[in-house]
Amino acid sequence: MTDAFGLRLRASFRRFGQLCVGIDPHPYLLGEWGLPVSAEGAREFGLRVVEAAAGVAPVVKPQVAFYERYGSAGFRALEDVLAAARETELLVIADAKRGDIGTTMDSYGDAWLDPSSPLRADAVTAAAYQGLGANAGFLRRARSAGAGVFVLSATSNPEARLTQTAILGTGRTVAAGIVDDVFHDNSAADQDLSADRPGSVGVVLGATVDLADYGIDTASLVATPVLAPGFGAQGARYADVRRLFGEASGQVLVSASRSLLSAGPAGVAAAVRDASEEVSSCLA
């Protein structure tokens, strides 16, 4: 990977639209797909979703927890899914939500971002409760590998609201502070940021969140990649993207999982294709 992640993501948007297909082998979905609730079932599930999304959507997002639950066998299954995705034109976001400090975070970078790692992905989700600066080494590793990071900012779970809307000494909310920190980090790495040249560090903003309540101005996100879960089963509609994200709509990865995966093995390819076309239509 030589080009910066932000540029590769932008190029993929132009070719395949802005749908992000979640790979979430929930035990109940494995059952509905006729697969065993095991690492092998999760492996087969992931491979079929990769096949359905390749050439249709720009990004797949495996939820690491649904593989990790099976221990070492689960990680081997995930490695196979990641390897299959790398053989296509898909970009892969490992939804691992790692967050720590110092050498621990650096080691997470080695696991998920190093080009020699069997777990390597194009981007990974991360938490910054200890402050984005604590992840400096992780972000450097990402950029040196041409990879990206999506930092949790405003999440859709109601338990997060009190913390994420808390006011910092700067007068900004915690969530808005993370958005600001990500922007400044991207700006320090590339002074030519623009809508056509987005940064490689993005933010996670739930599509079911009222961003204004969190103090987030979408106009500040026009050069920041946005991973937006919550479409489909969680209630947000593809038709809402422009209303929710305004000027930043062109940077949004419209993430859907269960609403696509519930179509089953026979219907998932059509569900992904239809959703990708609908998202592109809503953003046209």
Place of tokens 């999982």: 257
The pLDDT of residue 242 is: 95
The pLDDT of residue 279 is: 97
Q: CA-CA distance, 254 to 266, in Å (whole number)?
A: 23
Q: Looking at residues 109-135, what average pLDDT do you find?
A: 95
- The residue type found at 223 is A
The pLDDT of residue 252 is: 98
Q: Is the pLDDT of residue 11 over 90?
A: yes
pLDDT digits (tens, 9 = 90+) for 80-118: 999 999 999 999 999 999 999 989 999 999 999 999 999
Residue in 76, 86, 97, 161 annotated catalytic: 97
Secondary-structure class of domain 5-283 per CATH: alpha beta
Nearest CA among 6, 31, 32 for reference residue 263:
32
**Percent of the chain scored above 90 by pLDDT?**
94
97 is catalytic: yes
The pLDDT of residue 190 is: 85
Q: CA-CA distance, 126 to 140, in Å (whole number)?
A: 14
Looking at residue 89, the DSSP 8-state letter turns out to be: S
Residue 28 CB coordination number (10 Å)? 11
Q: CA-CA distance, 38 to 61, in Å (whole number)?
A: 19
Place of tokens 């609908």: 278
Q: Is the pLDDT of residue 264 over 70?
A: yes
The pLDDT of residue 16 is: 98
Q: Looking at residues 244-270, what average pLDDT do you find?
A: 96
pLDDT digits (tens, 9 = 90+) for 33-51: 999 999 999 999 999 999 9
Q: Mean pLDDT for the chain?
A: 95
Packing angle, helices 72-86 and 39-53, rounded to 10: 10
The strand pairing partners of 201, in sequence order, are 149
Looking at residue 4, the DSSP 8-state letter turns out to be: -
The pLDDT of residue 232 is: 78
Q: CA-CA distance, 80 to 32, in Å (whole number)?
A: 22
Domain segments of the chain: what residues? 5-283
The pLDDT of residue 235 is: 80
Q: CA-CA distance, 278 to 267, in Å (whole number)?
A: 16
Q: Is the pLDDT of residue 1 over 80?
A: no
Q: Looking at residues 231-237, what average pLDDT do you find?
A: 83
Q: CA-CA distance, 41 to 25, in Å (whole number)?
A: 8
